Structure 1
Amino acid sequence: MERKSIFRAYIVENRWYYVLGFILVAASSFIQLFIPRLLGQFTDRLEQNLLLRDDIIYFAVGLTLTGLGVAFFRSVGRIYLFRMGRTLEMKVRNDLFSHWGKLSAQYFNNQRVGDLMSHAINDVNVIREVTMMGVFNTMEALVLITITTIAMMSTVNVWLTLLTMLPLPLLSFLAYRFNKRIQKQSADVQQAVGSLTSRVQEFTSGIRIVKAFVQEKAEQELFTKDNEHAVKMNRRFVRSNSLFNSLSAAIVGVSFLISVVFGGMLVMRGAISLGEFVAFNSYLSLLMGPIENLGRVFNQLQRGRASEERLLAILNTKPDVADDAMAKEEIKHLNGDIEIRNLSFRYPGSKEPSLRNISLKVPRGSSLAIVGRVGSGKSTLVHLLVRLFNPPKGTIFIDGHEIHEIPLQTLRGQIGIVPQDQFLFSSTIRDNISFDPHPYSDDEVEEAAKIAQVYDNINEFPNRFDTSLGERGISLSGGQRQRVSIARAIIKKPSILIFDDSLSAVDTITEDLILEGLNSVMNNRTTIIIGHRISSVQAADQIIVLDQGRIAEQGTHDQLVRLNGIYADMYHKQLLDEEAEAAQDFFPVRQPVLRPSGKRGGTAQL
């Protein structure tokens, strides 16, 4: 269901709490009316030389008690409403984070990290300010303006009150004139802050690349440009905001001028007493504060509306991948029997399909290896298996269930995947390995690390498994990150294991040890291995070679070598590379490696 407003929904949901806050603010405003009355009575008695010591005590005690009453109810009401604002802030951030968790990977591919951070911090802060100061000032202004105007008209002079109020409607006209300008400028400020945040995030994440390519100066220039743009947008907003507040103050000043001129004339004519004149100006002072605050509230509302629209654009974004209407909640476990029927898939916005007419069967407990050149669709295929993207219906079946019938929680909970990017969180090694809702014991974590051949490396750290990793696990080497990612996948003991080129950063000896350790884990589990090295895939029960999104070859290692096609060509090239590397160990001078004419040498890019 599409959200129309964040503010309205929250206020309606907590309306009785806001009613109580309104009562507290109204009590504070009502008590303030005693101050002008006491000052007026004090002035009249002083003018008439009727002021006695008991009267001074009476007025002093009265003003003190009034001040304490105003302070108590205003403070309690303010604290209460501010607490509601903080609660909304927490709720919106939770909703935003929860909704991000539901969105597909494609959404985040099109977003900058800095913009997302700006939404979660700056936009939500603006929403909080509106529900804190905005709501409080609006309540106080409505109550105080209403009861003060009534008191001025009923206790002093109706015509003087009307004349004094005459300039105030100009505030509404002023607010109308500044409406769109301030809202647009506020949105520009938030966008500039998002760009600046993105620049900082990219710089800190890629600092090693920046230094390696000596791009510090260039990055500084880019940051300075974004920083100057952010300052420019803020100056525009501050200029409009200050102009609005100045004009509002000028209108309020005109009301005071009318009060002094015409009120003074009424005093000289005897139409009102000096005490009533003092009381009237005290009432007017009480009135002007909330009126000026309404100008600030107006600016807050425009900023709040701009931030609300940005947040609603996210919260109303429907997930590309979600549980289908045909999903069967009773499916809680998968055995791992996979069948793919005539699967073709094209990424959104892409002209050419990434996969074309893929059909194959992977029986439960067997292993499938996928090889192919870069861009042939290997990772796309496994991404569809875990539904990071939606495959066409009727193309992928697991245990006989069409993949859309399987709840996402069951599907992804039963699949352990080691992704290509080896992302690790900046927490401890233990937390990264046991990254799963299910709690794991220390023994299970250590066993997974041993199978992944990273246990000995972890023990070399002073804090062992409690070692905190840097951003994206940068304190580990590439091979160590891959092995921690492997441990994270196998500790789940899933029905289906997927290794997406997860051994590329380790040497051949470590690769053999990992594969040997994985034999026990892969037993009775369906395993899919994407690899560039033939040595990591040749023991699979079946191997498919993808070429331009199609299955070009399929069979076992021996069958594909005898076929003398793409796979065999890759295999022989890698054998030549291994022989060349072995030859270099025996000769102090590097020996040239013969390459077939017109073809790339070195490790084949699969």
Structure 2
Amino acid sequence: MLGILFIILSNIGGVYIPILLRNSIDELKNNLDFNLVIKNTILVVVTSAVAGVFRFMIRQTIIVVSREIEFDLRQDFWQHIQKLPLRFFQNNSTGNIMAHATSDISAVRMFVGPAVMYSTDTGMRFFLILPIMLWMNTTLTLFALLPLPLLSFAVYLVMKKIHVRYTKIQEKFSDLTTKAQENFSGIRVVKSYLREDFEISQFEKESNEYLKRNMDLVKVRSLFQPIFYLIAGLSSIIVLWKGGTMIMNNQLSLGTMFAFLTYLLMLIWPMIAFGWVANMIQQADASMKRLLKIFNEPYEISDSEKTDFNIKTIDGEIEFRNVKFRYRENLPLVLNDISLKIPKGSTVAFIGNTGVGKTSLINLIARLYDVTEGEVLIDGKNVKSIPLEVVRKNIGLVPQDSFLFSDTLANNLMYGVSNPSQELIDFVSEVSQLKKDVESFPNGFETILGERGITLSGGQKQRASLARALAINPKILILDDSFSAVDTHTEEEILKRLKSFMKDRTSIIISHRISTVKDCDKIFVLENGKIAEEGNHDELIELNGIYADLHNKQLLEEELSELN
């Protein structure tokens, strides 16, 4: 509102200057007085200075506010993205999300800043100048405005084309950023398979398409200024012809004619700015529609009116009641009629072939997904009734894919801890058998890890992920095939220390190795999304089913390995 006030004051000063010039010319024509020249010059300079100060204040208000709005929009976007379910990230590429967070938000900022400023400025100039021109000479004003209908028609045609082309540009920019992000993340694979030249050619292909779409927009944009200059030129020619005729017939003074031409020149920039503003509005409209698709994405997994906020912690008893789960409505069931109970403080394992639903099952406990049918209970309460923060805070999940941030090892281990300490770092790294490796690192726990922990081996990354989960002191620890890159000796040492650490806590282990799960209190064998077998190691061996078959195969593999 202040910015709009400054626009009004600046334009009042600006449109007053041609009136001063008109009066000066007409007065000098009748009376050549040097003092009169000085007086009118000072008036023009002072008026211009005052208008200039207000022009400066316009940018200090509207443009500054637009930057603050951009900041708020980016923060809102980031907060919204953080709360979206895993399902969203599985269906949207990282590059596409990055494009939304950068160029789309910037395009919206251009609307709430420069577009608002210039459109208000343009409208205000017309609002102030037009009555003055009509007051000076109605006939000449009407002649000067004759080309303006052409302007409206030209803007209508060009704006439609800009909107379509800019939407295509942003879509291609998403593809481009996705391509770049995938290449940077997978650079080791690219180099291993000698695909550098192929990736260069693919990126060049995407870049050329992006260039082509930008050039299509540039061609449309390039019509704006020539059209506006042409219309302004037509108005000037008409004013010179009609005004000159009126001066010769003593129907118009020279000062008024000069003021008219000055006002026309003052209107040329608003006319050009109008085209620029129209361009920005179309770009912002296309970008905001893309952003709203993200903002309208439902959280799906969040606290609701059914949430009992009196629950501050959990003990760790877990139960599945007739649970069915599918990732999307049109996909088959991943879990079908799962019913089981995991007592507090027990250690259970889930085993089975790849793709039988082991990871899907433990994701339901941490509410990374919600069940399709049935219910998951923790301590006898539906997990949906427990505050999400309480659930996640008390579950230490070590996923299959160990992700580490490009930060120090210490910061990675203490990622979920509010008050980190060196004692805690030493303790969790000892339990996870990581400490002996850290001793060989150049800066110990302060060693900077590369992107996604690239400087660590697969086994070290898994042990670092385990240490990070232990650091939050969880009531439920879930290990999702977390020892696949760890040798059997180190695995035994970790499990031995975990047994002591997880006393009176609930542990869930997913693994393909029988050696990892054989000492668990209970083992569930999954097949085709259902529980095919359950019991302890000895009971399942006696059953002589799927588990026994896996056990025999792994024993044979070990014997063959030893022979080799």
Q: 2:224 aligns with which of 244, 254, 260?
A: 244
Q: Does 1:31 align with 2:13?
A: yes
Contact 2:326 2:372 survives alignment (8 Å): no
CA distance in 2, matches of 1:526, 1:78: 60
Aligned pairs, number? 564
> Partner of 1:400 in structure 2?
380
CA distance in 1, matches of 2:32, 2:55: 34
Equivalent residue runs for 1:524-539 within 5 Å: 524-539=504-519
The AA in structure 2 aligned to 1:377 is G
Contact 1:358 1:551 survives alignment (8 Å): yes
CA distance in 2, matches of 1:468, 1:51: 79
> Partner of 1:68 in structure 2?
49
- Structure 2 unaligned segments of length 5 or more: list them: none
Contact 1:369 1:542 survives alignment (8 Å): yes
Shift of the alpha carbon at 1:456? 2.5
Shift of the alpha carbon at 1:514? 1.3
CA deviation vs aligned residue, 1:157-190 (integer Å, no higher than 9, x gap): 1111121112123222222222322111110111
Return the TM-score normalized by structure 1: 0.90
CA deviation vs aligned residue, 1:490-535 (integer Å, no higher than 9, x gap): 1111111100000101111211121122122211110100011111
Equivalent residue runs for 1:515-594 within 5 Å: 515-584=495-564
Shift of the alpha carbon at 1:357? 1.8
> Partner of 1:472 in structure 2?
452
Shift of the alpha carbon at 1:84? 0.9
CA distance in 1, matches of 2:253, 2:557: 107
Bigger CA drift: 516-525 or 192-201? 516-525
Q: Does 1:98 align with 2:79?
A: yes
Equivalent residue runs for 1:337-356 within 5 Å: 337-356=317-336
> Partner of 1:427 in structure 2?
407
Shift of the alpha carbon at 1:294? 1.1
Q: Does 1:274 align with 2:247?
A: no
Bigger CA drift: 287-296 or 534-543? 287-296
> Partner of 1:187 in structure 2?
167
**CA 1:149/1:402 → structure 2, altered by over 3 Å: closer, same or farther?**
same
Bigger CA drift: 273-282 or 492-501? 273-282
The AA in structure 1 aligned to 2:189 is I
CA distance in 1, matches of 2:417, 2:109: 32
Shift of the alpha carbon at 1:350? 4.8
CA distance in 2, matches of 1:70, 1:473: 58
CA distance in 1, matches of 2:87, 2:149: 50
Equivalent residue runs for 1:178-327 within 5 Å: 178-327=158-307
Shift of the alpha carbon at 1:440? 1.8
CA distance in 2, matches of 1:135, 1:467: 49
The AA in structure 2 aligned to 1:227 is S
CA distance in 2, matches of 1:65, 1:446: 72
> Partner of 1:145 in structure 2?
126
Shift of the alpha carbon at 1:202? 0.8
CA distance in 2, matches of 1:515, 1:72: 73
Q: 2:389 aligns with which of 387, 409, 421?
A: 409
CA distance in 2, matches of 1:64, 1:249: 28
Shift of the alpha carbon at 1:106? 0.7
Contact 2:169 2:213 survives alignment (8 Å): yes
Q: Does 1:20 align with 2:6?
A: no
CA distance in 2, matches of 1:434, 1:166: 72
Runs of at least 4 residues off by over 6 Å: none
Shift of the alpha carbon at 1:43? 2.7
CA distance in 1, matches of 2:40, 2:258: 15
CA distance in 2, matches of 1:82, 1:504: 55
Where 1:552 maps in the other structure, the secondary structure is strand
Shift of the alpha carbon at 1:44? 2.9
**CA 1:264/1:446 → structure 2, altered by over 3 Å: closer, same or farther?**
farther
The AA in structure 2 aligned to 1:348 is R
Q: Does 1:493 align with 2:473?
A: yes
The AA in structure 2 aligned to 1:335 is D
Where 1:575 maps in the other structure, the secondary structure is helix
CA distance in 1, matches of 2:237, 2:312: 77
Contact 1:394 1:402 survives alignment (8 Å): no
Bigger CA drift: 161-170 or 409-418? 161-170
> Partner of 1:5 in structure 2?
none
Contact 1:393 1:404 survives alignment (8 Å): no
Q: 2:360 aligns with which of 368, 375, 380?
A: 380
Equivalent residue runs for 1:442-453 within 5 Å: 442-453=422-433
Contact 2:95 2:177 survives alignment (8 Å): yes
CA distance in 2, matches of 1:206, 1:375: 24
> Partner of 1:596 in structure 2?
none
Bigger CA drift: 167-176 or 306-315? 167-176
Q: Does 1:135 align with 2:119?
A: no
Return the TM-score normalized by structure 2: 0.97
The AA in structure 2 aligned to 1:126 is A
Where 1:369 maps in the other structure, the secondary structure is strand
Where 1:553 maps in the other structure, the secondary structure is strand
Contact 1:337 1:364 survives alignment (8 Å): yes
CA distance in 2, matches of 1:537, 1:209: 33
Shift of the alpha carbon at 1:74? 0.6
RMSD across aligned positions (CA) = 1.5
Where 2:223 maps in the other structure, the secondary structure is helix
Contact 1:393 1:402 survives alignment (8 Å): no
The AA in structure 2 aligned to 1:408 is L
CA distance in 2, matches of 1:565, 1:394: 28
Bigger CA drift: 193-202 or 462-471? 462-471
- Structure 1 unaligned segments of length 5 or more: list them: 1-18, 585-606
> Partner of 1:10 in structure 2?
none
Shift of the alpha carbon at 1:547? 1.0
